[in-house]
Amino acid sequence: HLGLSLDHRLNERLLGSLASCLLSSECCSDSSEDTSLTCLVPTPLSPIQGLISHSSRRDVRVSPRLFRPQQQGPRPVKVTVIDVSPFEEPIFLAGCSDGSIRLHRLTAERPLLQWDHSTCGRAVAGLQWSLTRPAVFLVQDDASCVYVWDLLESDLGPVARQPICPDRLVAMTVVGEAEKTHGSFLALVLARASGSMDIQYLRQEWATPASDELQRLRLLLRESL
């Protein structure tokens, strides 16, 4: 089980976080390594090769212009979802139609890490970084399963998998708040095929960051070069 509780009620605190999340749907980021506003989109020129186009909204030349998978040459795969890290590290995730997941740095063409078999070949339908922990992200596949990744616990695959049934999962989004006076929380808003919506609060271990989490993530990324 992914969390501590399942709640169908949207309280005021959760509604505020959900509204902020839904209002920010573009995959753009202010890069700390240059002054451009970086935008990432699957390239329409080669939709089945897993390429991602890199551009700037401020007419600043960016490099690289394309992000590619680890494999060389054409691949029968397209990028289905992209999410930029909300923390200080200039990285992003890309999920693909063959179930592969890539972790890219904004300054390198090839991914730092790539996982090819984490969903057993099911297409990645949703993917989002945690809003409270730099090393955690969540994945949804097209078979209505949710996966929790914690890179500090394992950089080989997800640390938890939860099938969502019998009412099939259509979409999910992550909401949460960093640690404050009343504590941190991380939750999944799950939209079902029936039209209902569930709120799944994740375990505290996946919501509360370690004091040195960002530094440990940076070390992991350096070691993967």
Three-class secondary structure of residue 66 per DSSP? strand
* pLDDT value at residue 21: 41
Q: Would you call 208 exposed, middle or buried from its count of C-beta atoms within 10 A (0-12, 13-18, 19+)?
A: middle
For residue 170, what pLDDT is reported?
93
At 63 the pLDDT is 82
pLDDT at 73 over 90: no
pLDDT of the residue at 1: 58
Sheet containing strand 37-42, edge to edge, reads: 28-30, 37-42, 52-56, 66-67
Radius of gyration of the chain measured on its C-alpha atoms: 17
Measured between its terminal Cα atoms, the distance across the chain in Å is 34
Whether residue 11 is predicted with pLDDT greater than 50 in this model: the reply is: no
Residue at 55: amino acid letter: S
**3 state SS of 103:** strand
Q: Which helix (H) or strand (E) holds 214?
A: helix 213-223
Distance CA 152, CA 136 (A): 8
The average pLDDT across 176-201 equals 81
User: Any idea where the domains of the chain sit in the sequence?
Assistant: 3-208
Residue by residue, DSSP assigns 113-160 as EEESSTTTTPPEEEEEE-SS-TTEEEEEETTSEEEEEETTT-SSS-SE
pTM value is 0.82
CA 51/CA 47 separation, integer angstroms: 7
- pLDDT-based confidence at residue 83 (cuts at 50, 70, 90): very high
Which DSSP letter does residue 209 get? P
CATH class of 3-208: mainly beta
Q: List pLDDT tens digits, range 137-177.
A: 999 999 999 999 999 999 999 999 999 988 999 999 999 88
